[in-house]
Amino acid sequence: MTDTDTTRDMSARLNAMRRTLREVFGISRLRPGQREIVRSVLEQRDTLAVMPTGAGKSLC
- Give per-residue pLDDT as tens, 8-54: 887 888 888 889 999 998 998 888 889 899 889 888 899 999 999 98
CA 45 from centre of chain: 12
pTM of the predicted structure, to 2 decimals: 0.67
- Place 1 in a pLDDT band, splitting at 50, 70 and 90: low
- Report the first-to-last Cα separation within the chain, whole angstroms: 27
Q: Where are the domains of the chain?
A: 1-60
Q: Which amino acid is at 7?
A: T
Percent of the chain with pLDDT over 90: 25
Chain centroid to CA 25: how far?
13
